[in-house]
Amino acid sequence: MIKYTIVSGSLDTSGAFRDYATKKLNKIDTLLKDANADAKLTLEKIEKEYTLTTTLIVQGIRNGVPEKTYKTIVSHEDAYAAVDLSEEKLKRQIRKTLTAVNRDERRLKNLKKVL
């Protein structure tokens, strides 16, 4: 389950933006299964671009894997598009971690069979 904190410096984030961001990032929750996660989204507007910094801290993604931190920084002219890009980047990072963990588990099982 992901706990969200949405921070926007001088911008006033609407309820619609908060709902959209939590809805998009809840898709990541399916990859995490039973892990606990804290997400902090920071939205800033610099000139004509929105910059969204997302930090996701995950505890218990798999057995034997310590706390893991994922971070994305995305700039786009549309704040909603920045959320979409951030979600894609986070998914990619999490899948990479899960693939490495699964690969290591398979290697250990095969090594135990040989020994």
The answer to whether residue 111 scores a pLDDT higher than 80 is no
Instruction: Please state the pTM of the whole predicted model.
Output: 0.85
- How far is C-alpha 100 from the chain's CA centre? 17
State how far the Cα of 29 lies from the Cα of 98, in Å rounded to an integer. Answer: 13
pLDDT, tens digit, 9 for 90 and up, residues 36-80:
899 999 999 988 999 999 999 999 887 777 889 999 999 999 999
